[in-house]
Homo-oligomer: A and B are copies of this chain.
Amino acid sequence: MEVYTIVPSSLAEARDFLVRELERRSWIVFFALCRALYEGRGASESTVGDRVVIIKPDGSLIIHSPKGFKPLNWQPETSSIAVSLEGGLLVLRALRRSPREILVLECSSVYSISCGVSPEEGQFWMYMSEHEIRDAIVSNPSMIEDGLTIIEVERPVEPGFIDLYGRDSKGNIVVMEIKRVKAGEEAVRQLLTYVNAFKVRGVVVRGILVAPALTESALKLLMVSGLEYKIIDLKKLYQQLQAKRVKRTTLKDYIL
């Protein structure tokens, strides 16, 4: 990857550079003193401040303030980014078609602009998703309960999908909702919706919430609703999965 940086001596120079690199669909990063105006699903405005602006080859635009993970303003995907000089300011207009949104960036000063064309995308893998946990249970249902058999994964029901649908050793239908993080009330409500979808059709089923932990109020709501839960040990599960997994890399040397 070739990265090229300029320290523009004027906003006109910055504009020309941006126009050319947007045309080439380069990856653009610049430091600027600017303010942003946004209107769409919500609306925002700001006073001038030092910002880092990223424009990606796919048109995504991200404006970062000096603090925190979240950008101050953004446009996840743009249909067009227009650059112009207006009243002594460098103005970028980033439009989005659907939902219809506009983000206007007014730069009073551009400190530096870097750009590069990126050939190396690389691959990415995420582990320990709800998906992975679900698949692990499918291949070993006894981790939930002895004698449990899984009949269907992602079974469509009235609204949405049941994570796991099975039958216990006594022949009862079991509906399972899986959470990869501590489950709150919302998870219980979700499970309850599924169980009720059966109940209204006169079918009584067991509902089991599968999670590494439950909040207190979630537990209370679960009890009141006649539902059950099963705590799973994510660390153990991760190590089991890790052992089976094609070893691509390892963090062992880094783990503290």
Binding site for B on A (CB under 8 A): 1-3, 5, 7, 27, 29, 31, 33, 35, 37, 39, 41-52, 54, 56-58, 60, 62, 64-69, 72, 74, 76-77, 93, 95, 102, 104, 111-112, 114, 116, 118-129, 158-160, 180-181, 185-186, 189, 193, 217, 221, 238, 248-249, 251, 254-256
Contact = CB atoms under 8 A, between A and B. Distances in A.
B120 A3 contact: no
A238 B58 contact: no
12 contacts: A1-B111, A41-B128, A43-B126, A50-B116, A50-B122, A58-B66, A58-B68, A66-B121, A102-B251, A102-B254, A104-B251, A189-B193
Nearest to A99: B181
Contacts of A160: 185
B125 A2 contact: no
A148 B43 CA distance: 29
Number of copies: 2
A125 B44 contact: yes
Top 10 closest A-B pairs, CB basis?
A: A49-B122, A50-B118, A3-B111, A69-B76, A43-B127, A3-B112, A46-B124, A159-B217, A42-B128, A50-B120
Contacts of A251: 37, 39, 43, 102, 104
A58 B50 contact: no
Nearest to A250: B37
B58 A102 contact: no
Contacts of A121: 49-50, 65-67
Contact of A102 (B104, B122, B255): B255
Given A67-B57, A68-B58, A102-B255, A1 B31 contact: yes
A44 B128 CA distance: 9
B54 A52 contact: yes
Contacts of A114: 5, 29, 31, 112, 114
B254 A37 contact: yes
A245 to B, nearest CB: 10
Nearest to A112: B3
